[in-house]
Structure 1
């Protein structure tokens, strides 16, 4: 059976398919089917506080992995992703990586700020939140970027992925929300950044450790995706408002981050703009950002820097934001490669060799 190959045919499949499967299982669980509950009771499953029995809450390793373990698994992913952030990059690759990371982040931040100014930052137009916008627009799909620049770009385009790895995870989104006036204490930033920082340190000190942790960039993803889905209802993905919001996020990500990236590359005299177009996507792992932000908000509430009501507001939008970002991932997985192909044809028509290191004619 070609289960993995089938899943990977779906854009962002390793994240999206387990997420929806977890949501499906949880949806069935929440129906509290009598025959299922009787079977669970016969096995000795402890009832919930309201007296119902759920197969996603049977305790032990199963519940920890498939229901409640999303934050731990996301932390493991961030640790391993940090270990792959190679600080030894070439000058041109470093320049492109900085330009891409900065432009993508500032565009996402700018849209998030404007949204918060003219709409409800938590439940605004199309049910979007500033958190969902910033998370989706600032975190690009590194695997897709590497594949597209490998095929249509040059070596320094590909090498820029080392810097782009910095936008993995929730740290940039957390920093942006802090700029928007949310009172996250320093410890909340440390709590989010520490796994990435330790992983980065170890990966750069010892190439063997980097190689050992490399599978951890992919391996935890379907597991934390399933656990995130296990807290959602499948109806979230078929809500027209959520679908509309997710597609809108995808369009904004491809058009705005790609378009502004092209302008930035032109300002810095880069003839080929394959790289910024290839980065105009939403990463599948960005769907884990809302849960991580909600956890940071809980830390802030515990330290007295944020009210319990504000922290709960982040918790309340986790499910809908996760669904919206997942749909944005699917949307950009279609739009981004098409945009790169069109950009490559345009540049070729103007006599620019996109695979030449200087992008020269």
Structure 2
């Protein structure tokens, strides 16, 4: 059976498909169907504090993994992702990666600020929150970027992914929310950043550790995705407002972050715009950010830097924001490759080959060759 191949045919499938299954099981649990509860009761399952019998709350390792394991598994993912952040990269790749991550981050932050100004930052237009917008727009799909730049871009475009990996996880979103006025103490940042930092240090000190941890970038994803889904209701994905919100984030991500990246590349005299358009996507892993931010808010509330009600507001929007970002992931998985193909065709019509490392178009290379032969 080609289960994995089938899942991977869905954009962001390793994240989205388990998330949907987790939501499906949780939806069944929350319906409290007598036939299901009676079956679980006959197996000896202990009732919940509310007196119900639920599939995802049978105790033991099963409940710990499938219902309550999201934060631990996300932390493992961040640790492993940090170990793959290579500090030894070429100058051209460093330049492009820095331009891309700065332009993408500032664009997402700017849209988040404007949204918070015109609408309710916690639940505005289509139920969108500043958290969902920033998390969805600032975190690009590294796998898609690598695939698109390897096909349409050049070596330094591909190498820029080492810098772009810095936006994996919730840190930049946490920083943005802090800039927007949420009172996260230093310990909240440390609590989020520490697994990434330790992983990055170990991965750069020992290549064997980096290689050992490499599977950790992928392996935990379907597991924490299922656990995140286990806190959601499947109806969320069929809510017109949630769908509209996800589509909005996806379209804004491709159009605005891609456009901003092109402008920055043009400003810094880069001829090919394949890289910024390839980064104009939302990562499936970004769906884990709302849960991480809610956990950081709980830390902030515990230290007295944030009120309990403000922390509770982050927790309340986490599930909806997760669903919105998941839809945005699917949206950009369709729009981003189409945009890259269109930009590549346009560039080639102008004599610019995105695969050339020299930033020279075909016409310029031909003129150079003619000058040399003369």
Question: Do both proteins adopt the same fold according to a TM-score greater than 0.5, normalized to the shorter chain?
Answer: yes
CA deviation map 1:106-151 (0-9, x unaligned):
0000000111111100001110000000000000000000000000
Aligned position for 2:233: 233
Aligned position for 2:96: 96
Mapped to 2, the partners of 1:212 and 1:2 lie a distance apart of: 26
Q: How far did residue 358 of structure 1 move? A: 2.0
Mapped to 1, the partners of 2:5 and 2:32 lie a distance apart of: 34
Q: Secondary structure at the match of 2:140?
A: coil
Mapped to 2, the partners of 1:359 and 1:350 lie a distance apart of: 13
Aligned position for 2:62: 62
Mapped to 2, the partners of 1:124 and 1:296 lie a distance apart of: 22
Aligned position for 1:140: 140
Question: Does the 8 A contact of 2:171 with 2:192 survive in 1?
Answer: yes
For 1:207-222, list aligned pairs within 5 A: 207-222=207-222
Aligned position for 1:244: 244
TM-score (norm 2): 0.96
Mapped to 1, the partners of 2:25 and 2:122 lie a distance apart of: 27
Mapped to 1, the partners of 2:110 and 2:98 lie a distance apart of: 18
Q: How far did residue 39 of structure 1 move? A: 1.7
Mapped to 2, the partners of 1:11 and 1:270 lie a distance apart of: 30
Aligned position for 1:344: 344
Gaps of 5+ in 1: none
Q: How far did residue 55 of structure 1 move? A: 1.2
Aligned position for 2:197: 197
Q: How far did residue 37 of structure 1 move? A: 1.0
Question: Are residue 297 (structure 1) and residue 297 (structure 2) matched?
Answer: yes
Mapped to 1, the partners of 2:349 and 2:223 lie a distance apart of: 45
CA deviation map 1:13-70 (0-9, x unaligned):
0000000010001101111111221121122211111211101000110001100000
Mapped to 2, the partners of 1:287 and 1:221 lie a distance apart of: 11
Mapped to 2, the partners of 1:161 and 1:287 lie a distance apart of: 20
Mapped to 2, the partners of 1:353 and 1:327 lie a distance apart of: 33
Mapped to 2, the partners of 1:235 and 1:55 lie a distance apart of: 18
Mapped to 2, the partners of 1:210 and 1:142 lie a distance apart of: 17
Aligned length: 361
Question: Does the 8 A contact of 2:169 with 2:286 survive in 1?
Answer: yes
Structure 1 stretch displaced more, 87-96 or 34-43 = 34-43
For 1:129-208, list aligned pairs within 5 A: 129-208=129-208
Q: How far did residue 230 of structure 1 move? A: 0.4
CA deviation map 1:234-265 (0-9, x unaligned):
00000000000000100000000000100000
Aligned position for 1:326: 326
Aligned position for 1:15: 15
Mapped to 2, the partners of 1:2 and 1:119 lie a distance apart of: 45
Aligned CA RMSD, in angstroms, stands at 0.5
For 1:273-312, list aligned pairs within 5 A: 273-312=273-312
Mapped to 2, the partners of 1:9 and 1:358 lie a distance apart of: 35
Question: Does the 8 A contact of 2:25 with 2:55 survive in 1?
Answer: no
